[in-house]
Amino acid sequence: MQEPAARFRASWVERLRSLGILIPFIALFVTLSLASSSFFTKVNLLNILDQQSATLIIAAAGTLVLVAGGIDLSVGATYSLAGVTAGYFAQRTNPALAIFLGIGAGVLVGIANGVITTRLRINALITTLAMSFVVSGCAALITKGNLLVLFDKPGFGKLARTEFLTVNTSTWLMAGAVIAIGIVLATTAAGRYMYAAGGNAEAARLAGVPVDRIRVVTFVVSGAAAGLAGVIDTSRVLSAQASSADTGLAFTVLAGIVVGGTSILGGEGAVWRTVVGVLFIALIGNGYILLGLDPLYEQITMGVILIAAVGLDVWTRRART
């Protein structure tokens, strides 16, 4: 039997852990506000959100994949494919169709990932990594290596570049998508099944949870989110190309999710954490620029923080048992 005092202390540690990245985030936010006069301005903050909108959307969906016990490394390539698909059709047809097909491409990649990992039982890490090559290749086939320029298609640009209540639609779309994904994970039966599938797949299956189906759903959401992000960014900059640099996006996204405190082992995590994690990383980048620090150190800082975040997760897990 535990004494009440002991139980209180244990739950206090648990609670502190559950706040996780929020405390360093607030500390960094306050520090930057004090250190740089241009940080805490509407322009700068909205700019950060706008720049991070693609990452935030993909990371929010990626949180579902991780919670359900999977991982999706193909999101960077999917983002790219969706961008060039939308760009390609925006040049030739109307913007609405281009948007639809761009997101549709992402959904298809998600379905493929989901089916391969659940039906064929191939490890998600390998599947999505391999898929990222296939998808990158497809994107390159569409562009034939060229930059798709859409400066003469302002209609397509309206998707991301319209201002509504002084904020860009790209930010509004991001907020809508992230909140919707967060609500799904936190309050729906599907979300509950994701936690169960990632927490203990066999126990979940024996409790009647359709584990495979729910994992497919997470991959489809992830693909669709990467598709939406790609389309938004193409609309934002009015150009698209199949760039191999976009595969790096998958790791940026993963870093944000993990820094936020969602476990790579599945079964634990939340979308709000991911939002804080992604923004924390963004603040570091923003801080380096505003304070005029040597940007060469930025990546080193990032890596150290990532290890610290994962280390903290592992360490507190061990302390609990």
Helix axis angle for 95-119 and 75-92, nearest 10°, is 150
Please choose, out of 8-16, 18-26, 49-57, 122-130, the segment that lies near another protein by the rule CB under 8 A.
8-16
Cβ closer to another protein: 5 or 43? 5
Distances (CA, A) of 211 to 70, 119, 204, 219, 269: 11, 12, 7, 13, 18
Size of the site for another protein (CB under 8 A): 35
Distance separating alpha carbons of residues 29 and 23, to the nearest angstrom = 10
In the bound complex, what is the minimum distance in angstroms from residue 119's beta carbon to another protein?
A: 15
Question: Which amino acid type is present at position 19?
Answer: L
The answer to whether residue 308 forms part of the interface with another protein (CB under 8 A) is no
Distance separating alpha carbons of residues 228 and 88, to the nearest angstrom = 15
Q: How many CB atoms lie within 10 A of CB 212?
A: 17
CA atoms within 13 A on the CB side of 84: 24
Cβ closer to another protein: 11 or 33? 11
The answer to whether residue 5 forms part of the interface with another protein (CB under 8 A) is yes
The answer to whether residue 47 forms part of the interface with another protein (CB under 8 A) is no
Please tell me whether residue 119 adopts helix, strand or coil conformation: helix
The answer to whether residue 189 forms part of the interface with another protein (CB under 8 A) is yes
Cβ closer to another protein: 46 or 264? 264
The answer to whether residue 193 forms part of the interface with another protein (CB under 8 A) is yes
The answer to whether residue 314 forms part of the interface with another protein (CB under 8 A) is no
The answer to whether residue 165 forms part of the interface with another protein (CB under 8 A) is no
Q: 288: which 2 tokens?
A: 């380096």
Distance separating alpha carbons of residues 249 and 232, to the nearest angstrom = 15
What string marks each residue from 249 to 288 as x (binds another protein by CB under 8 A) or -? ------------------xx--------------------
In the bound complex, what is the minimum distance in angstroms from residue 164's beta carbon to another protein?
A: 28
Interacting residue with another protein among 34, 126, 141, 206 (CB under 8 A): 206
Which of 53, 71, 74, 51 is CA-nearest to residue 63? 71
Distance separating alpha carbons of residues 240 and 199, to the nearest angstrom = 39
Please choose, out of 7-15, 43-51, 86-94, 153-161, the segment that lies near another protein by the rule CB under 8 A.
7-15
Cβ closer to another protein: 215 or 236? 215
307 sits in which H/E element: helix 296-320
Distance separating alpha carbons of residues 31 and 45, to the nearest angstrom = 15
Interacting residue with another protein among 24, 155, 210, 285 (CB under 8 A): 210
Residue 25 CA, chain-centre distance (Å), reads 18
Interacting residue with another protein among 11, 33, 146, 244 (CB under 8 A): 11
In the bound complex, what is the minimum distance in angstroms from residue 65's beta carbon to another protein?
A: 17
Interacting residue with another protein among 28, 50, 111, 192 (CB under 8 A): 192
Q: Which residues pair with 163 in a beta bridge?
A: 168
Backbone φ, ψ for residue 36 (5° rounding): -130, 130
Q: Which residues contact another protein (rule: CB under 8 A)?
A: 1-3, 5-11, 13, 187-190, 192-193, 195-196, 199-200, 202-210, 267-268, 319-321
